[in-house]
Every structure is written in C-alpha cells, then in structure tokens.
Amino acid sequence: MRITRAVMKKIIPWLFLTPVIIFIILSWVAPVALTLYLGFTDLSIKNFLAFIRDFFTPEVHITLENFEKIFFGGDPYLPEVLKITIIYVVSVLAINAFYSLILSISIAYFLKHDYLSLFLRVSWLLPRITPGVIYALMWNWFIDPRYGMLNTLLSLAGIPKEMLPQSWLLDKPYSQILMIMVNGYIGASFGMIVYTAAIKSIPPDLINAALVDGANEFQVARHIIIPLLKWPIFFVVAWQTLSLLASYEQILLIWGAGGGGGYAGIARAAGVMVWALYSYSKAFSEYQYGYASAISVVLVVVGIALILIYFKLFGFSRLMAPSKVEV
C-alpha cells in the first residue's frame, strides 16, 4: 500500500498537468519545432499536398537555400523590411516604455484627483481592450480623407493643408507614422499599467521625505520615482521588444484589407511591411511556406535567445512580478 501511495503521489500532479501539456504541445511546441524544420525545406504550393499526405515525401527537399537568401542578399526586398522593422520596433518601444513612463507619472503622481486619474487611465486602456478589428475600423474611418477627422484635427491644430497627406494609408512616411501611432496607442497602456502599479507601491513616506528634503515634484519624479522604477522599466523594454518584433496583426488589419494584393494587402506599397508580416504574406499570399518559415525562424531564434537573456538578467521572481518596486 505504502509503495502505491508514494507512486500515486508522484503521478497525481502529472495527471493534473497532462491536459495542459497536451495543449501546449499542440499549440506551442509542435509549431515551434515545425517552423524550425520548415525553414530548412523548399515547401511551397507545388509540393504542399504531398507534404500533408506524407511528412517525409521525397518531393520536399531539405535545403539551406532559404537562409542563404535571407543572409546573403538573395531577397532584394529584405533590407527594406529590416529597416521598416527597426523603425517600427524602436519607435513603438519608445512610446511603450518611455512615453508611458511620463504618462504614468502624470496620471499616477502629478494628478492628485482620484476620479480624474481613473478616467484617464481607463481612456488609455480603451485601445487595448477594444477588439483589434474594431480598433482598425475606427482608425480606418479616422484617417479617411473625406469622412474622417484626422486631417481636420491637424488643420485645426494649425498644420498647413500642404503638409497633410492625400492618403494616410499609402503616402510614405505618413503611413509609417500611422503604423507607429496605431500600435503606440495600444502599447502605451502596457507600460502605463506596469508603471502605475509600481508607482502606487512606492511607500508614501519616501516621497514625503523627498519633499521635506527640499525636492519639488519634478525632482521627486527624477530622483526618487524613476530610479525606483528601474526594474519595471527594464521589464517593459525587454518584454515589448520581443512582442513588437513579432507583431503584425494590427498592421495586417489596417493595411491588409484594402486595395487587394492578397493577405498583405497594400502593406508593401505603404512601406509598413514588417518582418513578421513579411513572413506571413510570403506564406499565405505567395505560398512559399519554406521561405516564410525561414523568415519566422529568425524571429523564433531571436525570441528564444531573448527569453534566455531575460531569465538571466531578471531572475525568475522579477519576471513574475514586474510591477513590484524593490525598496
């Protein structure tokens, strides 16, 4: 009896976890492995059906061609994609991590009025809560040169008509500014949530002490709040770098719909083709599954590397409670 009980004790946790593990394998492990594998194949629409019938069909060849294409200039459009991706990630990251820092200090520290601050916080959360497609719909209307309000608002703000684009969707660099704005509004609330929680967890005595020591509120923000938010800032930067590198849904939602051009729509013409979207469009509008996977492999490898670095940098506990201030 005692032995079976000991065995049971070992088995039960895994019984509880088996369904979790099965689903994780289905949705995460298998696709990651498959992506890595496909990156080394020439899978495309030609040999796709054979591949589905038999994973080891001789019609699909193992090859390094895809990576040669990526790293040795075989795809003349890729440098452009890389450039757009870097612009995208860096600018949106600046909004997500640093703009939201000023935002949180404004809302959670400068603004002493509770209801007002709550109202602003909820307003900033709206873009994140709204389903992506509706958010895209609203932007589509907002930037519409005829019905929308963006150009109207900008001319109200005193920007001359000549500087406003015919089409925010198509005219570079306006399209790229739009891409940054659309994603920035969603991203700003990520930093805001983390920082606001962190600011609220700073002991009030610490801030009072600084005030008594002769600091004005700006100095309190600079000398006390921001240094104490070191880890939360670091966390937001790290976390958002990875998720921005791989993100494309919002761009697809706004630029994919109009103007035909298959899945990627007019993203290429508008200069908003980021790395992950490029992979997506290679797969689903050009059916080059192998090459598309190889482009994704780059992201998978970068992603895994970054996650390992984060574990090293932050330690387990900081990753789990990002908004805790260490006092």
Residues 197-236 that bind another protein (CB under 8 A): 197, 203, 205-206, 208-219, 223-224, 227-228, 230
Site membership for another protein, residue 98 (CB under 8 A): no
Site membership for another protein, residue 26 (CB under 8 A): yes
H or E element at residue 231: helix 230-245
Site membership for another protein, residue 111 (CB under 8 A): yes
Binder among 171, 263, 269, 324 for another protein (CB under 8 A): 263
CB 147, min distance to another protein, A: 6
CA dist 66 to 26, 284, 295, Å? 26, 17, 8
Site membership for another protein, residue 170 (CB under 8 A): no
CB 77, min distance to another protein, A: 19
What residues between 276 and 315 interact with another protein by CB under 8 A? Answer: 276, 279-280, 283-284, 289, 292-293, 296, 299-300, 303-304, 306-307, 310-311
Long-range contacts of 86-90 (CB under 8 A, 24+ apart): 87/176, 87/180, 88/176, 88/179, 88/180, 88/183, 88/244, 88/272, 88/274, 89/241, 89/244, 89/245
Binder among 40, 124, 168, 174 for another protein (CB under 8 A): 124
Given a contact cutoff of 8 angstroms between Cβ atoms, the answer to whether 293 and 35 are in contact is: yes
DSSP 52-102: HH-TT-TTS-B-SHHHHHHHTTS-TTHHHHHHHHHHHHHHHHIIIIIIHHH
What residues between 239 and 258 interact with another protein by CB under 8 A? Answer: 239-240, 242-249, 252-253, 256-258
User: Bridge partners of 62?
Assistant: 41
CB 277, min distance to another protein, A: 10
CB 139, min distance to another protein, A: 7
Q: For the chain, where are the E strands, in sequence order?
A: none
Given a contact cutoff of 8 angstroms between Cβ atoms, the answer to whether 279 and 292 are in contact is: yes
Site membership for another protein, residue 86 (CB under 8 A): no
Given a contact cutoff of 8 angstroms between Cβ atoms, the answer to whether 253 and 132 are in contact is: yes
Site membership for another protein, residue 133 (CB under 8 A): yes
Task: Between 211 and 269, name the residue whose CB sits nearer to another protein.
Answer: 211
Which tokens belong to 317? 């506990």
C-alpha triplet 256, 261, 267: angle, nearest 5°: 45
Site membership for another protein, residue 193 (CB under 8 A): yes
Q: Select from 56-64, 71-79, 140-148, 158-166 the region that touches another protein (CB under 8 A).
A: 140-148
Count of residues binding another protein (CB under 8 A)? Answer: 125
Q: Which of 199, 291, 306 is nearest to 242 (CA)?
A: 306
Site membership for another protein, residue 99 (CB under 8 A): yes
Site membership for another protein, residue 136 (CB under 8 A): yes
Can you tell me the distance from the alpha carbon of 74 to that of 287, in angstroms, rounded to the nearest whole number? 18
Can you tell me the distance from the alpha carbon of 275 to that of 88, in angstroms, rounded to the nearest whole number? 10
Q: Select from 27-35, 58-66, 71-79, 170-178 the region that touches another protein (CB under 8 A).
A: 27-35
CA dist 71 to 75, 76, 82, 175, 242, Å? 9, 11, 12, 28, 21
Binder among 139, 168, 174, 278 for another protein (CB under 8 A): 139
Using DSSP, state whether 226 is helix, strand or coil: helix
CB 72, min distance to another protein, A: 22
User: Bridge partners of 41?
Assistant: 62
Site membership for another protein, residue 110 (CB under 8 A): yes
Binder among 87, 120, 269, 313 for another protein (CB under 8 A): 120
Site membership for another protein, residue 85 (CB under 8 A): no
CB 201, min distance to another protein, A: 11
